[in-house]
Structure 1
């Protein structure tokens, strides 16, 4: 059966209603909305099904709310007809590149990515604009006058109680909350089951952001709050206390599936300062006392025995020359101790006339002399001597001989966070407030150092650089221009000529408006219906929009073939084949179906000359030569 592509993202509200229908089929019905049939919830029936577990009206409950929160939630669920258009001229090694850079509003971009990257992203890092009380570039049409706010703000219940925060507090936070909320909602959909989200924030919205994340991810999926001493020194003019730290909030999609990386202990670790004749093979070591005082439940009599010391005397657990009670044990068995003495894993030290027995914990081998990688958990504190904002600025200065971008995060910080997330080859890292592309740069650098293959997806609104700014004076019209140039410079610096990235521009749909409202066709719009692709949109533009709808990753290999004089695209080694020529005939379709037999999807443009008979022929031809192929048209 041939189906028509919708060329828009899914309506998430409809998806959720379908889930309700699986549990309560009697509570879902159909209704008409804007010339289309949609699923609707019969809340009266659903209320009866859940009659024992409903919170009604203004009944007291724990909740975190603000003006227009429901609108922000709907915004995340609302489908979009926008698309991504490839920009080969701005890309590097477009045909082979796996990394993605998107220029455009991140909310619309996240909606477009949702179907394709659903539950595929291992790590999301974002550094959203901090709430300073100034206007947001990301306002999502939430502009609200003070009167509008007061009208909502002063809504009361039947007892006269205000339903929202006071004007002095709430209005300051409302715009920021409405901006961040739908984006975090979509982030959860993108994260894999073992995925983590890292959010940089200052103290002004830390509490509110934590509440949002508790609501969306669940408080049980909180991982940590890292305090980062981001600034070195402070202003002598500060009236109260110098604000020298930022915070990084970490949540999991599903904490039970998360693997947190650990810090490798290096050979210059000050704790491992002892050396012996085995240094070359075992590394330095630390000493650990062999005896230990156990509780009565864990005491083992067989581990309470004497050890012969270098001077021929005996020492018992607890350091005495005689057996003592009180739960003293050796940590090793007698057989293991004999092996340890023979192989240099035991060291005797005499203190105050008494022998102390120690085991040697080597850096490179375990207590059985087997190779080991020693590591320790990461801490929730990052000090300024490890990395700070000055280092982030220095990277930019080194490239451009001037500080052309403010507040760039240091590469070392992003590498540190990727290590916490245990990022490895095949993983995808997303940053949708990517600024000067520090995250993308960090992925490229870390890949080079670790010989790994991690992909990045960076999204940034192309904010214009101020005419007086250093960036503008260096020839950059937008932040995206600067970021793309930085990524190109980093590839050259890292000598990674085979590495690249694909640049996409967020734009309106490739299809004319009439494509989405067939019922409204008139004599005036008939030509638009027949020729439904906008002028200036090419075949590759159509291909990318089709890939997004069919859930095919933007990094997939794209090849062009010539079949009977027609351009045919093969995506992901034939998973999708597409031909957007209007003038194809049966012989072309036959040759295509034979050559690309086994493809999952075949997509054609119905165009001005493709009749119902032709569509029927396409279906029959594929049934003959590639019966498993799903045929789609636009």
Structure 2
């Protein structure tokens, strides 16, 4: 008999090791049959792909090169902490909520969450024509710049710009493509992503995911029975949504797919004979196959009747093992003791094996149930078709075990995902953490007279005092957490996390950008405090964050630190710097001078302070201050890098 390795070795070709390495690193370029897609690989190497504008709508959709470029861009925004929330109710929370454009948030998270997210669930716009989706990007580049970027002529530039403000397939694909690309980079190697969609864009979503994740990383298409009522005005009533499931790395996923199961239900288990080992259910004692050593007569001790295995089958064990099971009260003969032998299977023996889920989910509630949940929390109907928490709980039960997994939803909506995370943690003492991202989509617009007018579908929320969707999302988390605490009382885990830290991701205001453009480092007198331009006050948003706090938060993310990193204030005379994990020292505010440089060099030289690098906000320093600090650090025996940022 050959070993697995021997059988494998018979199939090895000269390029097998190379192809296996490619498949590990670049699974998206392999087809279902394991062949390398060279044409697809060549397309990715191209700087420009003008075929997308001449061929029209395929996967080479109008805007694909633009979408690819967006996936590679750095964030142009800053992360502004909500100090009232983060130093108040969310102070000790490990959960995160970001208000802002999810593409920008995904760009920021690339630095400190790449390969760290265990589960992503998103419910993006379905592009139904009535869900309000239009392509939001305004192409802030000039026509000449677009021509240069993508190698286009005048007609092709016009075709590219034609998707602005539209809800075409190409517009939707251009919107989704960079978000899916960045989402993949955030997933852990053993991670999975679930994307809900309906018929309008399901095939296009599958094309994107196949290209980004690779066909070999497709797991399933789960069909959810989303409504029970019938639309009589439709040719066929649409009563389902699809949820596409992909993994990051098929090899790792397959190694661990035994854990990709639902908790085993206790349905069918009971204990009619009060067995001290607990509840059980009866399984057949026969199994497939014909084996002489497992084919023998079994006598029912109650009736004396003898049984042989059914035709084409054999018993599970040999005679000796059977007798041991019988003596151990593991064999029964039907409810009345008059039937063929059965094996008692105890719940404690099989519960950890889990239960394989079906691809059709009709047991997790409907959109109506999701609406009722919102109504029970707010007393009014704020969303038309929210997902029920039972759907998200089932997804989380399937893909997590409660061991501090991070769950990301960057189309947070009503924060059903966050609610589900908290509910499941309360139920199984889990430590899952959530990251929610929601655009501050307003529930009103301002007319020519300066009067606020509720948007279509936003009146109920506006009248209830909510000016944007993200406000509702955060309030949902607070109210859901309160309900969970009330429902569970003493049974709630002591370390239950029912809050979140809140950050707003915003573009600097025009005046700040203009001041940056006009900044002259040779000017020894800094007339403008550049730091203050990044405060929540200057950015015209809530949150009470200083400009220094905004810059520090943005840089910590950029440098790969988590949002609960250990940040310590370090005083140099009257100047406050910030040290992170004995690694970096951040100098942001103005006021640094020769005395501070001397004190810093002394502490570093005598090892009173241990850091590997000093990071400073260049707009707070003039040339003389920079030169003095830079020269001083170079003279130290220990290597300390100076990083200047603008």
Same fold per TM (> 0.5)?
yes
Are residues 1:508 and 2:521 paired?
Answer: no
Name the CA distance, whole Å, in 2 between partners of 1:76 and 1:562.
40
Name the CA distance, whole Å, in 2 between partners of 1:527 and 1:107.
38
Structure 2 counterpart of 1:272: 269
Q: Which of residues 609, 616, 632 in structure 1 aligns to 2:631?
A: 616
SS at match of 2:184: helix
Task: List, as ranges, runs of 4+ consecutive aligned residues in structure 1 with deviation greater than 6 Å.
Answer: 55-58, 514-517, 520-531
Indicate the larger mover: 483-492 or 508-517.
508-517
Q: How far is 1:540 from its partner?
A: 0.8
Q: Which of residues 543, 549, 552 in structure 2 aligns to 1:543?
A: 552
Q: Which of residues 440, 457, 473 in structure 2 aligns to 1:483?
A: 473
Q: How far is 1:420 from its partner?
A: 1.5
The 5 A counterparts of 1:46-195 are 64-91=59-86, 92-133=88-129, 136=133, 138-141=135-138, 172-195=168-191
Change (3 A) 1:586 1:72: closer
Q: Deviations over 1:567-593 (max 9, x none)?
A: 23233x434432324325134314664
Q: Which of residues 605, 616, 623 in structure 2 aligns to 1:604?
A: 616
Are residues 1:357 and 2:341 paired?
Answer: yes
Indicate the larger mover: 522-531 or 610-619.
522-531
Q: Deviations over 1:417-439 (max 9, x none)?
A: 11111253332111111112222
Name the CA distance, whole Å, in 2 between partners of 1:420 and 1:78.
34
Change (3 A) 1:337 1:604: same
How many residue pairs end up in the alignment? 537
Structure 2 counterpart of 1:29: none
Structure 2 contact 534–548 (Cα < 8 Å) conserved: no
- TM-score normalised per structure 1: 0.75
Are residues 1:568 and 2:577 paired?
Answer: yes
Structure 2 contact 294–317 (Cα < 8 Å) conserved: yes
Q: How far is 1:474 from its partner?
A: 0.8
Q: Deviations over 1:538-576 (max 9, x none)?
A: 2111111211221112233444344533323233x4344
Structure 1 contact 68–178 (Cα < 8 Å) conserved: yes
Q: How far is 1:509 from its partner?
A: 5.1
Name the CA distance, whole Å, in 1 between partners of 2:77 and 2:393.
33
Change (3 A) 1:525 1:180: farther
Q: Deviations over 1:248-307 (max 9, x none)?
A: 11111112212453222333x0x33562241x423131231x23452xxxx433223333
SS at match of 1:379: coil
Q: How far is 1:601 from its partner?
A: 4.1
Q: How far is 1:600 from its partner?
A: 4.7
Q: Which of residues 377, 382, 386 in structure 2 aligns to 1:399?
A: 377
Q: How far is 1:450 from its partner?
A: 2.4
Name the CA distance, whole Å, in 1 between partners of 2:385 and 2:312.
58
Indicate the larger mover: 196-205 or 543-552.
543-552
Name the CA distance, whole Å, in 1 between partners of 2:552 and 2:203.
43
- TM-score normalised per structure 2: 0.73
Structure 2 counterpart of 1:263: 262
Are residues 1:494 and 2:521 paired?
Answer: no
Q: How far is 1:128 from its partner?
A: 0.7
Structure 2 counterpart of 1:444: 422
Change (3 A) 1:310 1:95: closer
SS at match of 1:285: strand
* Unaligned ranges ≥5, structure 1: 1-19, 24-45, 144-151, 157-162, 320-325, 367-371
Structure 2 contact 531–548 (Cα < 8 Å) conserved: no
Structure 1 contact 282–365 (Cα < 8 Å) conserved: no
Q: How far is 1:193 from its partner?
A: 0.7
Greater relative contact order, per chain length (Cα 8 Å cut-off, separation 6+):
1
The 5 A counterparts of 1:227-238 are 227-236=223-232, 238=233
* Unaligned ranges ≥5, structure 2: 1-21, 26-40, 141-151, 445-452, 486-494, 536-546
Structure 2 counterpart of 1:9: none
Name the CA distance, whole Å, in 2 between partners of 1:596 and 1:451.
43
Name the CA distance, whole Å, in 2 between partners of 1:114 and 1:311.
68
Name the CA distance, whole Å, in 2 between partners of 1:535 and 1:355.
82
Are residues 1:553 and 2:529 paired?
Answer: no
Indicate the larger mover: 80-89 or 527-536.
527-536
Name the CA distance, whole Å, in 2 between partners of 1:470 and 1:546.
39
Structure 1 counterpart of 2:359: 380
Aligned-residue Cα RMSD (Å) equals 4.0
The 5 A counterparts of 1:198-237 are 198-236=194-232
Q: Which of residues 402, 407, 419 in structure 2 aligns to 1:429?
A: 407
Structure 1 counterpart of 2:541: none
Q: How far is 1:78 from its partner?
A: 2.4
Structure 1 contact 304–316 (Cα < 8 Å) conserved: no
Q: Which of residues 330, 335, 359 in structure 2 aligns to 1:345?
A: 330
